[in-house]
Structures are given as structure tokens and as C-alpha cells.
Amino acid sequence: MSWEVQKAKHRGPKAAKGLLAALRQSAQAGAQTRAQRDRVRAAAQAARQAQKNRWRPCYPVGQAMGQGRQRAGMLQNPKRQREISLLLGLLLAVTLTVRCSSFSAAAERVRQSTLRLHVLAQSSSPADQLLKLRVRDAVLTQAGQLLEGCADEAAARRAAQQALPRFQRAAEAVVAASGQHCQVRIRLARMDFPAVNYERFRLPPGPYDALRVELGQARGHNWFCVLYPGLCLPAAQKTPVDQAWPTRQEQAVVGGGYQIEFAVSELWHGLCRAVKGRQQTEHL
């Protein structure tokens, strides 16, 4: 390049100036070309980075899919399946044990807070069944007057115990008025009752204190309800069910909660009664 400049100087000043101008233009063109190459390179690099950023969110998804396939393979392992089944069974057993324990405690408090009435007819004939209902009404009328102010089941039981002669006279009067001749026996007893659903409440199975009324041989269809709380007394419609038993757990038992536990308790009680083959009754 310097040789061409020296040669142009020998030709004259104008030739040298022209050559210098051409050299400057060539240098500028080269600089523009380099700048263009840099811009193109930077744009390509930015495009590659944008492409990476675009696909980057998919990497965790792919990783999760791989983990999911790995878990599916583990679940197909028979040994793993047995371990999972045992674990689920253990968790279910623990859950049912806790819930059934809570239900059993609440059901026991319901039984301890309840005084039942049990009337057994002499037979299942229509006449004896009608007499049973008339005796029931007479006993309920007397109980409504005696047990209305009782504070708890123990007080109601004591009042019923003291009023046994009164119940006896009322029942014998009904039997005499009907023209039938059958013996009447009334006592307090500890009796085993099945689960029962009434219109406004239900009671769990198990042993309860009861006022037991037996007519004649007491081999007919029976009738039973609740003397205390007074939900079967003549003024029973005035007593809200949620006020008859004090705690929320007891209200859940009699009001429709514990559906599974109630069904399990009813089934177990039925099996126990079938094995025993007879009703257990204890005199109080």
C-alpha cells in the first residue's frame, strides 16, 4: 500500500490525493462491514438465547413426566403394591379406631343419660296388642307428671322407683277396664336394646335402664321408647332434641351424625345378640 502511495506521489499531487481518498473509502467500507458482521452475530446470539428461554419452562415438565413414569414403574412392583396396601390398611384402621372410640364414648354417655320404657304384651293378638297400647298410654301419663322436673337420668330413675306402685295401679286399672284378666308386673331393669330410629331422633344399641311393664306371659310384640329425656311423654313435642342431651357428641349420636360408626355398632350389636340367643335383663 505504501508503495502505491509513493508511486502516486511521483505521478503528481492529484493522483496521490485520489489514491488516499480511495483508501479512506475502502477503510470505511471495511469498518461498516465489520459493524454489520458484529450486529448480525449479536442478533443471532440473542435469537439463540430467546429460543433457550422459550423452551426452558418445559424442562421441569419433562422431568416431572420422567418422575411420574418412574413412580408408575414402582407401583407395578408386587412388593411395592403389598407395602402400599398394608400402609393404607393401617391408616384406615387407625382412622376408624379413633372415630369409633369417639362414637363409643358418646354413645355410652347417651345410654347413661337415658331412661327407657319397655312394654311387653301378653301375646301378638289384636286384643292383647290394643291392651298393650292402652297400658302404655296410662304409664306415659303418670310418667309425664312424675318425671317432668327431673334434672338427670339418676333423678328420673329414683322418681320412677318410688312411683312403681303408682304405675302398677294405673296399669291394673286399664287391664280391669278392658275386661281381661292378666297379671301386670312393673319394675326397673337394666336391659339390652337394639338401635332404633324415631321420627326426631335415634338411639344407639346397648344396655339401658328401663321401666319394664310385662302383661301376662309377656310373649307378644313389645313397644319401647324414652321416658327420660321426656321425648315420648305427652308433652314431648315441646322438648327440642338438641336440648335433651347436653353435649355436642351426644347430639351427634342421636341427631344423625356418625353414620358409619352407627351402622358398624348396629351390625356388631346384632351379631352379639344372635350369638347370645336371648335378651339380657338385670333387675335394678
112-138 pLDDT tens trace? 889 999 999 999 999 999 999 999 999
Give a yes or no: residue 164 inside a domain.
yes
Clarify whether residues 178 and 264 are in a common domain: no
Tell whether the model's pLDDT for residue 78 goes beyond 60: yes
Q: Which of 1-10, 15-24, 56-65 has the highest mean pLDDT?
A: 15-24
Tell whether the model's pLDDT for residue 253 goes beyond 80: no
Count other C-beta atoms under 10 Å from residue 239's C-beta. Answer: 16
- Cell readout for 56 is 426452558
Clarify whether residues 122 and 232 are in a common domain: yes
Give a yes or no: residue 79 inside a domain.
no
Give a yes or no: residue 256 inside a domain.
yes
Instruction: Give which of 105, 283, 121 is closest to 206, Cα–Cα.
Output: 105
Give a yes or no: residue 47 inside a domain.
no
Tell whether the model's pLDDT for residue 243 goes beyond 90: no
**Residue 187 β-bridge partners:** 212
Clarify whether residues 159 and 258 are in a common domain: no
Give a yes or no: residue 221 inside a domain.
yes
Torsions phi, psi of 234, nearest 5?
A: -55, -30
Clarify whether residues 211 and 160 are in a common domain: yes
Per the prediction, the chain carries an average pLDDT of 76
Chain segment 141-152, per-residue pLDDT in tens: 898 888 877 888
Give a yes or no: residue 226 inside a domain.
yes
Please, which pLDDT band fits residue 184 given cuts at 50, 70 and 90? very high
Q: Which residues contact 220 (CB under 8 A, 6 or more apart)?
A: 120, 121, 122, 123, 124, 125, 128, 129, 132
3-state secondary structure of 169: helix
The H or E element that residue 185 is part of is: strand 184-193
Tell whether the model's pLDDT for residue 77 goes beyond 80: no
CA distances from 58 to 50, 62, 64, 73, 267 (A): 14, 6, 10, 23, 55
Clarify whether residues 141 and 229 are in a common domain: yes
Clarify whether residues 134 and 214 are in a common domain: yes
Clarify whether residues 178 and 160 are in a common domain: yes
User: Could you tell me the residue range of the domain that residue 123 belongs to?
Assistant: 115-192+207-239
The string of DSSP codes covering 36-74 is: HHHHHHHHHHHHHHHHHHHHTTHHHHHHHHHHHHHHHHH
- Cell readout for 226 is 324414652
Give a yes or no: residue 25 inside a domain.
no
Tell whether the model's pLDDT for residue 21 goes beyond 80: no
Please, which pLDDT band fits residue 59 given cuts at 50, 70 and 90? very low
Task: Report which of residues 62 and 90 the model is more confident about.
Answer: 90
Clarify whether residues 223 and 122 are in a common domain: yes
**Residue 283 β-bridge partners:** 189
Clarify whether residues 104 and 219 are in a common domain: no
Q: What is the mean pLDDT of residues 155-174?
A: 93
Please, which pLDDT band fits residue 139 given cuts at 50, 70 and 90? very high
Spatial separation of the C-alpha atoms in residues 139 and 146, rounded to whole Å: 11
- Using an 8 Å Cβ cutoff, are 209 and 224 in contact? no
Please, which pLDDT band fits residue 235 given cuts at 50, 70 and 90? low
Clarify whether residues 151 and 211 are in a common domain: yes
Q: What is the mean pLDDT of residues 162-170?
A: 94
Give a yes or no: residue 234 inside a domain.
yes
Asked if omega into 229 is within 30° of 0 (cis), the reply is yes
Clarify whether residues 107 and 180 are in a common domain: no
3-state secondary structure of 214: strand
Q: What is the mean pLDDT of residues 224-252?
A: 71
Tell whether the model's pLDDT for residue 189 goes beyond 70: yes
Task: Report which of residues 19 and 167 the model is more confident about.
Answer: 167
Q: Which of 102-106, 108-112, 187-191 has the highest mean pLDDT?
A: 187-191
Which range, of 72-76, 180-184, 246-250, averages the lowest pLDDT?
Answer: 72-76
Domain count, the chain: 2
Clarify whether residues 108 and 249 are in a common domain: yes
Please, which pLDDT band fits residue 275 given cuts at 50, 70 and 90? confident
- Using an 8 Å Cβ cutoff, are 263 and 257 in contact? no
Count other C-beta atoms under 10 Å from residue 259's C-beta. Answer: 8
The H or E element that residue 182 is part of is: none
